[in-house]
Structure 1
């Protein structure tokens, strides 16, 4: 029963004109029921009038009208007055049949209730009210013929309130059912919206994203237009939650969602599909157009303080229907491009290219995830080392940022810049083995204490060798080497020292010089740069100091412009 009601409700919601079609079908079926009942009249003892001609002609007319109403007439195209007009005429037709089939004792007199039910269910309240009055009059017509005006009026006076009550109950039930249906529909719409919406950001959720993607791919196949998918990750989001708390993390996600939405078109579908993961379906867009839109969003997010002054970045992978034409494959390849972005420095947009972006097996993904988790743990330890000494708070982050800027000034590719940034962030991780008494000493270190610190570069390199590339491990190992050969741990000199290690060494020393220590005040950037220039060829390479000059000149120009 419930299933049938649900199907009927769905049919009526599908098209407003379906209500007219249903009314035509029900009305036509009532006429056919009346015709079938009329055929049985000769079998009833109280009907002793000839069946021919009028009852037979009435049956033929009722069948023709019923079939036309059900199968011939296109009610949405029929003039609007036809349905209420034919219903208004129906009580008179029933009254004539009643007279022709025996008058007051004819069972056909009951047909008027079919008219009453139809009017209450399908006509407006005003139209139904008129029909109720006409039904009462039609009910009384045989009494007028049989008992005269007095009897007819008395019958009408009794019939009118009874028919009014019946019609009123039907109309009230119709209104109540309509109100209940509307309320249930609103609840269903709300639940459907909730089921398809991420509660934090108000974006589509994973289920809704998949549905939109399948719909757009179907349209793409029909019309030959491309569809692109972009997968987005918030970089280092776990660190945001761990450092600032989940409330700030939620603010970050909401802000990132808003900034993404601002750079997308109305027809693009933006969804949150995981904790810090977003996805975008871009109809009628190829990979280049999608990447351009996401690059605008990436820049906007990188520049905007998203929550309590915090800044984050995003990594993005893009793929279009040139490389895949089903939802699963398209999402998988976009995910491969996203992974490529994350493995090559993060904070970038990558387009899937089978020549460069490799699809990883499940085992390879697990290995990569384990490496990423291990690196995350090491980064947390590096921050803990900085926190052990108030004078070096956030030293690793500053050195990583400056190292990356020096590499950019030297013309390194974005991929290699990112590699140096990650290595620089971990350059002091070997200090975990240094005693607090030495690491937190408030005066200058003695020769013995300085010697105790020297192993940290080699220890740090061993700690990261399973997670970082060989070149990155070498940068960490060599960041205390000197061009004059007096560094440690290997005593490299001149060309033996890699450029990455030289840049990291310059960034590390410069940050130490401009930071206040218990045993020495901070120096100005100009003083620190002057000392670096004086030590070219001894402690610093000429290329590293030249890059430092470029970066400081850019900073000075920005300050003047501000």
Structure 2
């Protein structure tokens, strides 16, 4: 699919979603004056598309708002004007999202806070101001001129124009609230499902499903009953559900829970049941907007807190066991893992081999080209080891340029063949230095098959002796340790030392 056809498909999908979701939003809204929507869902979808796909989705927003306005809004002309403002603020939001380097996973408090500020104080003031100005402009068109221009279909629509300035502020507030809540609720939901999940969530347990259903039923019963419940109680129960879900389930579950709770509360507001039965329409709008806005912000903030906590725990767990330069296990981690693997091999009577690898002439590389090139050499060496060895093999950086490999279920002969392949792969790699020269490396290795009953320390010393003999014999080779005499295995191919 070409770029142009992809952009056309994206705009067509966005146009469809904008119109359909807009109609559903208006159908399930509480009417109050000129603004019928307490939560304008298409704004959230438009923002998510602009964040994910960039400014190329602006035509879909413009045409979607225009068609929606012809169907159920102010007019075609008004829809074009409102669509222009909505497309502009959505594209601006997408630009700011990436400019501020916000995470699509909303997994940092900074990202949630900046996203909320961007929605409340930058984007929606633009959309609300533009929309109210369009309605005021409609109100200034004399009726006879509108009739003369055929205004019944492209100038005058279903939504009433604003006929005086004293109506502008309430309309602006409702417009701003509905669009803010729509973007805060829907954009994270769409982004969460468009991209991959950061963490694989554990399978949903039946007790969690039962608890979620029971909690939702309690909220509905309290909201519709004659018990002395209050919006604060409803809000508290909703918060408890969101907190519970956010602990383990990830962003997708949190945003879906937000959407389900929102549909429930909006449905109650439309019906005017329970604690909302005695409230006038403006207060119902306020309670619904307050509940949804605070619940969504609370859940996203809580989710970000738990994600940052998980990342911190992961870092604290990984840092003591990882070598910062190569991202391989460090000496302590390698020895601990090797002891466990050695115990398993003894229990199952399986062979296991240990190899020590040392980059040849590494000090000369550092002295001639600098430590930056030396670091690149070690990183390249680590990448080749990970790519060549099996996932079950243990690899660690145990010294400056020295690495250790434990090969489970492998005898010394097979281990030496694996290392010869690695010798040939390393010989084909090169590092380009800032002065234009090229660095190629080789390594020497000592291999020992761990004997039954032997300790890891003893085998480590034996592998080290074999490595030393390999380096003394000319480097770029694998030495297999055998009691009494090591076997020299020079590299096949044309591996050369660095130049």
TM-score of the alignment, normalized to the shorter chain, above 0.5:
no
Structure 2 length as normaliser, TM-score? 0.43
The normalised TM-score by structure 1 is 0.39
Greater C-alpha radius of gyration: 1
